[in-house]
Amino acid sequence: MTTLKDKIRDDLTAAMRDRDTVATSTLRMVLAAITNAEVAGDSAVALDDDAVVAVLAGEAKRRNEAAEIYESNDRPEAAASERAEAAIIARYLPATLDEGELRDLVTAVIADLGASTPREMGAVIAEVRTRGGSAVDGAAAAKEAKRQLTPPN
């Protein structure tokens, strides 16, 4: 069975063969980030697919944040480049829960835990991430949990 890292390597080879410069440079950066994560710390370790997905999610998040900064500084061409890289990285990420599914999951967790105040938000988010796995965006889960646990003014 091939790993996600092997699939990225194969796709890099195909992108180089097709002379797709955006995909080639993006996949090279992704592989470098994976390698950096593998050698970080006291000893080198091979990352499993879940750890590779975490690295990819971080890289995609960086690209999207950079695109927002470029757009706010009136640099649409640089923003488009960052968004193109993020789209390439997104091919390797698992599907995330849509807004409605996340809302339902957070509601169920709040009911199961009996949470009623924003102080319990940490426990709610932890349980949402446990139940949803890699399909849960932590920031979106936190925003939804805060919305549901904060009393209306």
> Are 141 and 86 within one domain?
no
Judgement on whether residues 113 and 77 belong to the same structural domain of the protein:
no
Residues 17 and 68 in one domain: yes
Return the pLDDT at 153. Answer: 67
User: Which pLDDT band holds residue 1 (cuts at 50, 70, 90)?
Assistant: low
Task: Of 138, 120, 121, give the one whose Cα is nearest residue 129.
Answer: 138
Residues 17 and 60 placed together within one structural domain of the fold: yes
Using one digit for the tens of pLDDT, what is the confidence trace for 66-102? 999 999 999 999 999 999 999 999 999 988 888 999 9
Q: pLDDT tens digit string along 6-56?
A: 999 999 999 999 999 999 999 999 999 999 999 988 888 888 988 899 899
Residue 75 shares a structural domain with residue 34 = yes
SS percent in the chain: helix, strand, coil, step 5: 75, 0, 25
Range of the domain at 110: 99-149
Whether 82 and 108 map to the same domain: the answer is no
**Structural domains counted in the chain:** 2
